[in-house]
């Protein structure tokens, strides 16, 4: 009800609720107002609409213990200082950004504010913070306390009715993914199950006030901004990543201009981020690498590593085991884990005793490429020829044998056809001329 009161208020003036701590005793102001607003009998018939009288009911102690404990009623409800009867036409509430300037500006730039213009409705300050009973974000009672943020955002973003009414089609799916996957993600589990307030919640990635869709360049989740956003917490990883072949700090390789470099969410997803030691997770990322590295992807699955990985064995080497997860670089880069200088150590992580010989293994060898892998091509050609040759010869042998028997049988069997007693053909010295 309080929320609706303020929503009503926000439609009249602007998204708002204000606070300005200019001294004075809140209680003094409240007492004046409470003469009427704490008196239900007096309020009968005075509501904004018939039957909404209770919207005007405000107990005098409502701000006690809140973030606005020291404010007077008129700090936000300016223009009502003269008491009753109220001055006609005064806005019910002064905008919150009268005091909270930066937050107000950020909100005005957000997709929420845009919705307010285009749809005539959007979450304003009070939808997330509450109206009279506003606690600081660090107070566990606050709806925007870190442990409560996801539930607060989810109250709209997980509501099919709201999603269907307000969100663009593509965003509907995103909204559903976000609210169903986040609680199961590492971030969500840490937050909700373990109560770990430093884990990431909605507002850490999407920001609290300047929330913008991912395709908007100013968004914190705009593609090229994502490493910076994740890096706010994962600082070390993102610095490593930035210097890697995938990172923007790495010199562009020939032909790479038109290729979009991957960012955090391509491998880790945005909302369903899982622990990397979850069974099958690293194997799943192989497919992600393969989206760009098509040939390496194919040749990987020709090797033992790839084949057992495909069968669900998590121990065999996957892309990141050799190329690292974030510091991947081409073999020509001396810093690369797959550069000649580092291969013994890289292979040696699994293969104890790997030496200079060992690292001459072609981890992506393709025997069908004669010019690139002549050492593999000729043995492959020999084995294939042997296979096809033997099967062709004996296949023909068998086919002719079956045919011969069928012909002989139709003729009732003749000497020389071979065959056994009781088989419809003469026994004995089959084949004697």
Partner 1 sequence: MSTRPMNAADRGAGPYLWRFSPLNRTLHALVIVSFLGLVMTGLPLKFAYAPWAHALVGLVGGVETAGIIHRICAVITFGYFLTHVGNLIYRLITSPNRKAIVWGPTSMTPQLKDLQDIVAMFKWFLGKGPRPRFERYSYMEKFDYWAVFWGVAIIGTSGLMLWFPAFFAKLLPGWAFNIATIIHSDEALLATAFIFTIHFFNVHFRPEKFPIDTVIFTGRATTGYMKEEHELEYDRAVADGTLQARVAPPASRAAYLWSVVLGFISATIGIILVILVIWALLH
Q: Name the residues that contact partner 1, by CB under 8 A.
A: 301, 303-304, 306-308, 310-313, 351-355, 357-362, 365, 367, 373, 375-376, 379-380, 383-384, 386-387, 390-391, 394-395, 397-398, 400-405, 407, 409, 416-424, 427-433
Cβ neighbours, 10 Å, residue 360? 10
Which lies closer to partner 1 via its Cβ, residue 84 or residue 401? Answer: 401
Which lies closer to partner 1 via its Cβ, residue 59 or residue 340? Answer: 340
Min dist. Cβ of residue 369 to partner 1 (A): 12
The answer to whether 130 and 124 are in contact (CB under 8 A) is no
Half-sphere exposure of residue 233: CA atoms within 13 angstroms, side-chain side: 10
Min dist. Cβ of residue 394 to partner 1 (A): 4
Length of the chain: 433
Which lies closer to partner 1 via its Cβ, residue 23 or residue 422? Answer: 422
The answer to whether 238 and 231 are in contact (CB under 8 A) is yes
Min dist. Cβ of residue 1 to partner 1 (A): 57
Min dist. Cβ of residue 339 to partner 1 (A): 15
DSSP 253-281: PTT-TTSPPP-HHHHH-SS----TTSTTH
Which lies closer to partner 1 via its Cβ, residue 276 or residue 383? Answer: 383
Supply 42's token pair: 């007096």
Min dist. Cβ of residue 124 to partner 1 (A): 53
Min dist. Cβ of residue 345 to partner 1 (A): 14
Min dist. Cβ of residue 206 to partner 1 (A): 39
Min dist. Cβ of residue 317 to partner 1 (A): 12
**In whole angstroms, how far apart are CA 325 and each of 295, 304, 364, 376?**
19, 21, 18, 29
Q: What is the DSSP secondary structure assignment for residue 20, as one 8-state letter? A: -
Which lies closer to partner 1 via its Cβ, residue 89 or residue 353? Answer: 353
Q: Is the dihedral of CA 308, 310, 314, 318 positive or negative?
A: positive
The answer to whether 223 and 311 are in contact (CB under 8 A) is no
Which lies closer to partner 1 via its Cβ, residue 25 or residue 423? Answer: 423
Which lies closer to partner 1 via its Cβ, residue 114 or residue 409? Answer: 409
Nearest to 320 by CA among 358, 276, 270: 276
**In whole angstroms, how far apart are CA 361 and each of 86, 152, 159, 392?**
87, 54, 54, 33
Which lies closer to partner 1 via its Cβ, residue 24 or residue 428? Answer: 428
């Amino acid at each position: 009800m309080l929320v609706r009161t303020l929503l009503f208020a926000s439609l009249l003036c602007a998204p708002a609720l204000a606070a300005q701590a200019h001294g004075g005793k809140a209680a003094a102001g409240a007492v004046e107002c409470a003469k009427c607003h704490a008196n239900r009998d007096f309020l009968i018939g005075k509501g904004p609409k018939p039957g909404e009288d209770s919207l005007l009911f405000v107990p005098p102690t409502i701000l006690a213990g809140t973030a606005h404990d020291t404010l007077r009623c008129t700090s936000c409800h300016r223009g009502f200082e003269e008491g009753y009867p109220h001055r006609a036409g005064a806005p019910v509430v002064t905008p919150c950004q009268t005091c909270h300037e930066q937050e107000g500006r950020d909100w005005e730039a957000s997709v929420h504010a845009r919705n307010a213009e285009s749809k005539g409705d959007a979450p304003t300050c009070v939808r997330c913070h509450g109206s009279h009973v506003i606690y600081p974000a660090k107070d566990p009672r606050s709806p925007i306390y870190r442990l409560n943020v996801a539930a607060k955002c989810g109250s709209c973003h997980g509501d099919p009715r709201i999603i269907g009414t307000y969100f663009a089609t593509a965003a509907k799916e995103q909204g559903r993914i976000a609210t169903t996957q986040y609680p199961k993600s590492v971030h969500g589990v840490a937050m909700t199950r373990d109560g770990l307030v430093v884990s990431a919640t909605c507002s850490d990635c999407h920001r609290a006030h300047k929330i913008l869709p991912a395709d908007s360049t100013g968004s914190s989740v705009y593609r090229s901004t994502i490493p910076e956003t994740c890096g706010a917490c994962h600082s070390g990883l993102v610095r490593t990543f930035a210097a890697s072949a995938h990172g923007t700090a790495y010199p562009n390789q020939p032909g790479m201009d038109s290729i979009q470099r991957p960012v955090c969410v391509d491998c880790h997803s945005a909302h369903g981020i899982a622990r990397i030691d979850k069974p099958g997770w690293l194997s799943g990322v192989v497919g992600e690498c393969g989206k760009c590295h098509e040939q390496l992807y194919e040749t990987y699955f020709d090797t033992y590593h790839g084949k057992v990985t495909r069968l669900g064995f998590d121990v065999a080497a996957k892309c990141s085991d050799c190329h690292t997860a974030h510091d991947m670089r081409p073999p020509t880069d001396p810093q690369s884990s797959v550069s000649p200088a580092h291969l013994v150590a890289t292979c040696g992580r699994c293969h104890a005793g790997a030496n200079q010989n060992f690292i001459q293994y072609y981890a992506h060898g393709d025997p069908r490429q004669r010019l690139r892998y002549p050492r593999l091509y000729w043995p492959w050609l020999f084995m294939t020829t042997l296979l096809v040759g033997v099967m062709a010869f004996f296949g023909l042998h068998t086919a002719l044998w079956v045919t011969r028997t069928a012909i002989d049988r139709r003729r009732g069997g003749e000497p020389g056809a071979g065959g056994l007693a009781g088989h419809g053909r003469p026994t004995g010295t089959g084949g004697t001329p």
